[in-house]
Amino acid sequence: MTLNSPQPIPFKPTEKGWLKPKLRNWLIGIFILSSLSGGGYLVYRQTVASSNQAARSRIQTVPVGRQTIPITIAANGIIEAKQSTNVSPKSSGRLKSLLVDEGDAVQAGQVVAYMDDSSLRGQLLGAQGSLEAAQANLKKVETGNRPEEVAQAQATVASAEANLRQSESDLNRYDQLYKSGAISAQAVSQYRTTRNTNQAEVDKARQALKLLQVGSRPEDVEAARAQVIQQEGNLKTVQSQIEDTVIRAPFSGIVTAKYADPGDFVTPTTSGSDVSSATSSSILSLASTYQVVANVAETDISKIKVGQSVTITADAYPDRTFKGKVAQVGAAATVTSNVTSVKVKVSLDDPQRLLLPSMNVDARFDAGELSNVLVVPTVAIARQQNGTGVQVLGTDGRPRFVPIQTGLTVNDKTEVRSGLQGNEKVLVSAPSRPTNRAQNSGNRGNPLGGAAGAPGGGFPRGSGTRGGF
């Protein structure tokens, strides 16, 4: 038998090579995975760091300081006339002539129109005649009788005395005849009657002469004087009525409207309204110089004083400013739509008369200034649970909330009355509040303590002035 030698086991390279590629791939995968993880972490840290750095760079601060800033109070107003009236006659009549037109400037006392006075002219002549007659009678009574009248009275007395002497002589003669029986008693009685009649005539003539020599009685003088006064009154009444037909401007101003023409019948009107019922019988409407009537908020009225300068602007002239001064501060407040305000009248310097009644204007009152006061930007003020304050940047670079007491606000500055020393830096802006955990770890929210998108997390706060320069 043939002994066979052992056969060697054949080498299978495919089976041994099968383990090496899988191990290699597995190791490559682990390496790649490790590389990706490390790189991602580096990228992640770099991204977060950059975001935090950008957030910190967006924080803006403003140093607190002292300033002197002017105070102005803004208010809305309207142009009004200081005085306005409808000019009309004192008595009804026809308009004879009109001397002015709309827009004309007139002075106080200037003649603007004439009424028809023809009927009054006749009354004037009659009143003048009556007065002259009364004056002549008074002069006669006060002067007394003329010498000629006295002489005439004396002659009458002498004649009466002569008749009396003649009648007495006849009576004596016939009385002797009667006693001798030559005549009857009836004949003697007739001569006695004649003598008595002549005696009465003498007494009458003597009394008349005495009255002429004494003059007028005081009662007659007073009666004549009263008659003169009465006629003077009648004459002045007519003259006044004629004067009233001359229509004069009651004050200096501008003719704002014309309601009648020559020949129209006009009547007295007391209303100052421009409605038809009030103006249809008037001649014209007159307005004095104009003023601004502004409504100032009650919170600002304590700062308004008479004589303060005022700057006025109007929508009609946006490129111009007008000057004025406070002339009067209202004595009572008014409430309109739940807003309380006080009317302030401002005298207007407008020589060209550009501003017209009922125009809307803006008035800015010069109410003084805040001198050397501590101020912060108004946008930096916020309100939190522990009060109103600002975010102050600390020495560690982190903001902290400091409560403050505010004063007046002028434009974008607010007075700080307490809470700050003056060497701080307050935050006026900060990044928005982060929304994920990674950002929260790098940026812990808005350092101003407010909501996202609202710097300071609050609203401008301050009292007093509204508006400003």
Average pLDDT per block of 10 residues along the chain, 469 residues long: 42 47 61 56 50 57 85 90 89 92 91 92 90 87 68 84 87 83 81 89 84 69 89 92 93 90 84 47 87 92 92 92 94 89 93 88 89 88 87 85 86 86 82 45 41 36 38
- State how far the Cα of 353 lies from the Cα of 303, in Å rounded to an integer: 29
At 4 the pLDDT is 41
At 145 the pLDDT is 60
Residue 218 backbone class (left: φ over 0; alpha: ψ -120 to 50; beta: rest): alpha
At 222 the pLDDT is 87
At which residue do the structure tokens 């140093």 appear? Answer: 63
Could you write out the DSSP letters of every residue in 437-466? HHHHHH--S-TT-S-TTSGGGS----BS--
Nearest to 310 by CA among 348, 359, 350, 354: 348
At 323 the pLDDT is 95
At 449 the pLDDT is 44
Helix axes 218-244, 118-143, angle to 10 degrees: 160
- State how far the Cα of 143 lies from the Cα of 220, in Å rounded to an integer: 12
At 437 the pLDDT is 41
Inter-residue contact 341 to 334 (CB < 8 Å): yes
The tokens describing 66, both together, are: 């002292």
At 221 the pLDDT is 80
At 116 the pLDDT is 92
Inter-residue contact 264 to 88 (CB < 8 Å): no
Helix axes 185-214, 147-179, angle to 10 degrees: 160
